[in-house]
Chain A
């Protein structure tokens, strides 16, 4: 008996391009009303997964059910109920902001009157009312993203798919987008998003999977993942480049759960960062800089894959 609150179910979902396996047998479920994330570096297979969910890329293997339907057979029927913000903007630069919503709404077969009503509301929501009759091209990157979000909402979708919603935006523009997405979440819109920013995942996702090289490495809420795969605090130490390696050998003698030596920093995973710093100093080491911080999803990723998110 299928659970009506499971909107997407994937089992062994696979995507191959020729000999290359971009998505390698992943399992996940999306529940109604949650914000579900795919966190992973470039090339992890996030977009490939989103495109399969968006019914614009047939799976090469496994099972995928979206809103209880089969994406290969019922693509148009499923797409009618999805909102999609693709990774790269696909706005229509030959049309104005308002016309972008109009035509996109028409693709869904919506009557012009309904679209006009929703357009006014959506442009207000993404703070683009003043630009309604401007061409799209001169808009800033953040505005284009917000317009894409507005466009994806024109059909009042049951699931909103966001592929790297803030990649390429400056910090301020990112915060505006996050704010809007957070509001959508509060309105009960079901979100599925991908990101390679751990702060984005932490801010927006109720539940997420860590994806790497086509596979899911771990799943849980941000807090669960941090608890399971990291320590409460992290001590970051920076030494002179020439001393870096020697220092790393010595720091290894300080008590810690785990140590990571990066190219420019040493990370000590500990319960109490200040105590750990004191222990390092007691070994006769004096770092150039030191920082005690809470664990993040970045640390989870490092633990799971041995690499940093940005490294890909």
Chain B
């Protein structure tokens, strides 16, 4: 009986190289990711100020633009060529940007510190936790945090009369999707980062995206070739989605943006899990 099970155990070994088999559970995390999230929730109890301050940054932007610039600018051309108030135009873009920035911050700087200095993952991987759990847990945490901020931001948008459609109920899941895409990509990128200097590349990627991905003006202001470039940036997908939802211009075309962001997040997650194995399980 036991001899038989020994044989059965040895069987897959002959068919597949063991590395491949072991990689199975590694790429996508499971239950263990929840424990990492629990750990972060504990750690932030001691640093709750950092959590709270994250609420305010996008709100300050919104208030500054809504009260000041919005009045000066008046109306701009929104999705489908309709004129909308400038603040209503910019608010969903700010939500998208804040989802991006929060996810990128959590998945790059914080993850790098935990990976290289705090040895957090070394400790976790000595237990039944897998590198996939680590990747998924980090991304899950980024999403929880980003989700809280998105809810707060939407409440303020509602209060300021910037929500023009019932489709806006999908704004929170969309903000989470944006967070997922950027947290996945950010974490994957972080596993390639060698020193703090490399984080300049992260800023180099996110800041222009914030400024040029139709945050403050419509895509139509650009000449054709530039429009194509902007059309391909990940933040543009998020802005287009959120803008469509909060202004009420929703069509099947938005699903492309969803697909883009979902693939970006999944790919990032898979790469991150694999790379963490490569880095830590040597």
Which A residues form the contact surface with B (CB < 8 A)? 17, 54, 56-58, 70, 72-73, 75-77, 79-80, 82, 84, 86, 88-95, 99, 102-104, 106-109, 135, 155
Contacts and interface: CB of A to CB of B under 8 A. Distances in A.
B22 A72 contact: yes
Contacts of B31: 109
B127 A72 contact: no
A76 B46 contact: no
Nearest to B47: A94
Interface string B5-37: 000010001000011011001000001100100
Contacts of A82: 126
Given A76-B25, A76-B130, A80-B128, A93 B118 contact: yes
B136 interface: no
Contacts of A86: 122, 126
B255 interface: no
Interface of B: 9, 13, 18-19, 21-22, 25, 31-32, 35, 38-39, 42-43, 46-47, 118-120, 122-130, 280-282
A92 B39 contact: yes
A84 B281 contact: no
A88 B116 CA distance: 13
B34 to A, nearest CB: 9
Nearest to B124: A107
Contact of A92 (B123, B127, B130): B123
A136 to B, nearest CB: 11
Given A84-B126, A92-B123, A94-B118, A106 B39 contact: yes
B126 A103 contact: no
A76 B22 CA distance: 10
Residue from A84, A86, A109, A155 whose CB has the most chain B CB atoms within 10 Å: A109
Contacts of B130: 75-76
Contacts of A90: 119-120, 122-123, 126
Contacts of A77: 128
Given A70-B18, A76-B25, A88 B127 contact: no
B166 to A, nearest CB: 40
A292 B165 CA distance: 92
Contact of A73 (B13, B119, B129): B13
